[in-house]
Amino acid sequence: MPASLPPAPRPVEALDIQAAIDQAEAYLDDPNRAPLEIDTETRKGPAIFRWMTLAMEHLIATLLVALIVSVSANVIGRSLLNRSLPWADELARMLFIWLIFLGAAAAFARYEHIAVDFLVRRLRPRAAHALYLLQHLVITALMAVMLWGGYVVMSRSTGRTALLGVPWNLINFSLVLCSAFILAVSLWRAWQSVVQIRRPASPHQQGGR
């Protein structure tokens, strides 16, 4: 006896599913955060930040492919040829460091870092942007410390890696680039929050759910 097919979803169930999807999208969309967002598709935010975000994302994809190839080559060499590739481990470590810092910067631009926004989503625009202003001022201070630390490290580093002979400053520059980009974006967002505090959003854009 052939197995019976599951019943097709009723229109009411389909509507419930679509309503749940719409609610999830609405929850992920924070109207208070809209003036601070950088979106390459809708051209939101300064052009320089959009271009740099796109460039970093393309570079991340390239580095990820190179990392996979490097690690796979070493695994194949050990498993099939009984011969490891020491340079592959060193290359993988360097690529991984760049991936970490570029990924952190690109994710920050797109608001993709994990955040607890339970409170800020329920505030009126002025109060929400006051919290955003405080948040980005703290981030700016932290990135300034990291940027200074990266500069100190680069100014004192003159060595090269053991196997590939890559200058250490080429690796250290990933920290400086990440810190500088996040610092610049944080300053821009802090200023945008100041603008929103001084000029509140229109009533139909107000938050505070």
Non-local (6+) Cβ contacts of 200 within 8 A are 125, 126, 206
- Evaluate whether residue 21 is within a structural domain: no
**In this structure, are residues 37 and 87 in contact, taking their beta carbons and an 8 Å threshold?**
no
Is residue 113 a contact partner of residue 201, using CB atoms and an 8 Å limit?
no
**pLDDT given for residue 104 in this prediction:** 96
3 located within any domain: no
Instruction: Provide the residue count of the chain.
Output: 209
Residue 15 lies in a domain: no
Residue 7: inside a domain: no
Q: Which domain holds residue 172?
A: 44-111+123-204
Domain-embedded: residue 12: no
**Residue 136 near residue 189, CB atoms below 8 Å:** yes
Q: How many CB atoms lie within 10 A of CB 155?
A: 10
> To 10 degrees, what angle do helices 47-79 and 86-109 make?
150
Domain count, the chain: 1
DSSP string, 2-51: PPPPPPPPPHHHHHHHHHHHHHHHHHH--GGGGGG--BTTTTBS-HHHHH
What's residue 157's pLDDT?
87
Give dist(CA 203, CA 125) in Å, integer. Answer: 10
pLDDT number for residue 150: 95
The reply to whether 156 falls in a domain is: yes
CA distance 163 to 87: 6
Q: What is the mean pLDDT of each run of 10 residues along the chain (209 residues)?
A: 55 60 60 88 93 96 95 87 85 95 96 84 89 96 96 91 92 96 97 88 49
Q: Tell me, what's the pLDDT at 207?
A: 45
- Extract the tokens encoding 64: 């990820």
Q: 192: how many CB neighbours lie within 10 A of its CB?
A: 18
